[in-house]
């Protein structure tokens, strides 16, 4: 049995995977979708501990594919580093990734960090970052945009500034970087820099909303390829 642990990115919630879960389960897989808290003073390490807690619920011997979208690329790598024996494969979906000590702001362009800090200061009491509009995630369909806009949450600024803590154990776990096209940030380079194979997928940053079947097929294909290796 394979368990896909699906971890949502910034400003999102477990609902981000609602359309991907059914095809994964139809293929015989289990899914877990941990909820990364968006309250004050929460940081990346807190989110990694949430994912570790989810990993600890998986029965021994199950094949675990740990999937992180966007910001959660950093989260799942820290969680996998803490539980290397529990994770068989790490998959980033348009995910940020870097070495030990790197924060999202360290990896992002300076203009991005400046804009996010300014938004938190002006409209988020200095600690929370208001959610961008759906089109910033590539969602332009009117229905999908309304669905997403109603669910997006402010993101704690600390999650972007806190550096990842990695011992190096995560680097011994196979990984794949699924990179959406056209790209928003160089997620292929981030993945390749940590030793992952980059795979293209046509679709926007929030491809799990626009083409969940294609994303699910790619996740399942990666599982099958590893099983037959």
Domain that holds residue 90: 2-99+164-228
Q: Give me the mean pLDDT over the 13-40 stretch.
A: 98
| Residue 26 burial (C-beta neighbours within 10 Å; 0-12, 13-18, 19+) | exposed
Kindly tell me if the per-residue pLDDT of 8 is higher than 90: yes
**Residue 206 forms part of a structural domain:** yes
**Residue 138 forms part of a structural domain:** no
**Residue 67 forms part of a structural domain:** yes
pLDDT in tens, 51-107: 999 999 999 989 999 999 999 999 999 999 999 999 999 999 999 999 999 999 999
- Count other Cβ atoms within 10 Å, centred on residue 218: 19
pLDDT in tens, 172-203: 999 999 999 999 999 999 999 999 999 999 99
Kindly tell me if the per-residue pLDDT of 227 is higher than 90: no
In percent, the amount of the chain with pLDDT more than 90 equals 95
CA dist., res. 20 & res. 31, Å (int): 10
**Residue 109 forms part of a structural domain:** no
Q: At what angle do helices 44-55 and 72-82 cross, to 10 degrees?
A: 50
**Residue 141 forms part of a structural domain:** no
| 135 dihedral zone (left: phi>0; alpha: psi -120 to 50; beta) | alpha
- The answer to whether 202 and 115 are in contact (CB under 8 A) is no
What pLDDT score does 228 carry?
60
Per the structure, how many domains does the chain have? 1
**Residue 157 forms part of a structural domain:** no
Q: Terminus-to-terminus CA distance in the chain, angstroms?
A: 17
**Residue 89 forms part of a structural domain:** yes
- Write the CATH number for 65: 3.40.50.1820
**Residue 188 forms part of a structural domain:** yes
Q: Give me the mean pLDDT over the 7-35 stretch.
A: 98
Mean pLDDT of the chain: 96
CA dist., res. 29 & res. 45, Å (int): 28
């Amino acid at each position: 049995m394979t368990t896909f642990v699906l971890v949502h990115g910034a400003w999102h919630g477990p609902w981000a995977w609602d359309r991907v879960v059914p095809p994964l389960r139809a293929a015989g897989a289990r899914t877990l979708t941990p909820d990364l808290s968006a309250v004050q003073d929460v940081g990346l390490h807190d989110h990694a501990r949430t994912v570790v807690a989810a990993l600890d619920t998986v029965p021994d011997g199950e094949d675990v594919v740990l999937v992180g979208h966007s910001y959660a690329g950093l989260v799942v790598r820290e969680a996998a580093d803490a539980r290397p024996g529990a994770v068989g494969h790490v998959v980033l979906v348009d995910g940020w990734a870097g070495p030990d000590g790197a924060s999202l702001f360290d990896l992002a362009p300076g203009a991005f960090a400046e804009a996010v800090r300014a938004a938190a200061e002006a409209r988020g009491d200095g600690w929370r970052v208001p959610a961008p509009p759906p089109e910033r995630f590539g969602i332009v369909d009117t229905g999908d945009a309304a669905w997403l806009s109603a669910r997006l949450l402010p993101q704690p600024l600390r999650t972007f500034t806190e550096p990842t803590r990695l011992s190096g154990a995560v680097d011994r776990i196979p990984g794949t970087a699924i990179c959406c096209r056209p790209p928003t940030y160089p997620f292929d380079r981030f993945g390749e820099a940590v030793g992952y194979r980059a795979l293209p997928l046509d679709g926007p940053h929030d491809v799990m909303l626009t083409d969940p079947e294609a994303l699910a097929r790619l996740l399942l294909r990666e599982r099958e390829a590893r099983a037959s290796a």
